[in-house]
Structure 1
């Protein structure tokens, strides 16, 4: 499984790192074969919403080469969804099997057309912004509709990561990763 983590200026880093920490354990534990991931953006270096600067591995790669694309949130998603170059790049993920977002990353998935006819969630402060892009906004920490996964606000990224792990592997792997992360709040086996 090959994953693309989409990073961009003014993103919220916990949106990314909570999910990243959970799902990359699948590779460490060899729970999925040939796990790999890339840090992708539309530029070589990004700065998050608190001033942390990160170098990017892959600039504007064709996202169709991935099995899972993940988009975090942050206030900048409100503008990025109207950026034609950025959105054109995100639309190269059209045929990617799994599309995942946390927080207002759902606005990017929605603007790309990936939430049409689907149920989704986002940060509670952006429910009204998400509504035009999906069939129904669900006020939960994480939602799965087919192969599209969306998470609520910021810290929900950890729960969503564990839920994606459980969905792609099984309950036992999710529990093992939960234990490795010393994270007691996720309830494995609760819903699929």
Structure 2
């Protein structure tokens, strides 16, 4: 069973949780050995737009997940200054795929995951990311082995595609991505 943990928190960006949630769950149509959870530090977190979202597990579920996917949003700024939060995460890029959307890269930097690597982030978080010594690339997706950062909400499609392809191959990735592309612009999909 492969597990994906999508990390949410108060003031997360809605699309950066819900779009990956939808895309990752489309994998189940092709592979039943796939589980997706939204995790956080409380039983419920509230998005920037005010949606209250129940968590499936606590943040420690990230420590055993095959994929850890950090969302973005203004809430990241509080988390990177919270040593107790950061200590709860024991991630290992040797055995896990660790990735982030937009300002979620700040959490990766605060955890030391981006030490010695380049990354991307949302324009409003560039200077903060640089303050961790990270060289910021002006790209929608930056990948270093099992670590990937994406910037711009719709880059979630590329980031999720990277994860699916790495774990399950090109065919399943292509089917999932094609299933959300505008008609006439994507690959033919099985759905």
- TM-score, normalised to structure 2, is 0.86
Unaligned runs of 5+ in 1: none
Q: Which consecutive segments of 4 or more residues in structure 1 shift more than 6 A?
A: none
CA change 1:27–1:140 in 2 (3 A) is: same
Unaligned runs of 5+ in 2: none
Q: Is the 8 A contact 1:46 1:54 kept in 2?
A: yes
**Which residue of structure 1 aligns with residue 84 of structure 2?**
85
**Which residue of structure 1 aligns with residue 5 of structure 2?**
4
Q: Is the 8 A contact 1:10 1:76 kept in 2?
A: yes
Q: Give the Å deviation of 1:135.
A: 4.1
**Which residue of structure 2 aligns with residue 74 of structure 1?**
73
1:59 to 2:58 alignment: yes
Q: Give the Å deviation of 1:84.
A: 1.4
Give CA deviations for 1:75-118 in whole Å, capped at 9, x if unaligned.
1111210011211113x224651101001000001101100011
Q: Is the 8 A contact 1:25 1:177 kept in 2?
A: yes
**Which residue of structure 1 aligns with residue 28 of structure 2?**
27
The 2-side partners of 1:169 and 1:138 are apart by 27
Of the structure 1 ranges 80-89 and 163-172, higher mean CA displacement relative to structure 2 is found in 163-172
Root-mean-square deviation (CA, aligned residues, Å) is 2.3
1:162 to 2:171 alignment: no
More contact order relative to length (CA 8 Å, sep ≥ 6): 1
Give CA deviations for 1:131-156 in whole Å, capped at 9, x if unaligned.
23354211111111111011102222
**Which residue of structure 2 aligns with residue 47 of structure 1?**
46
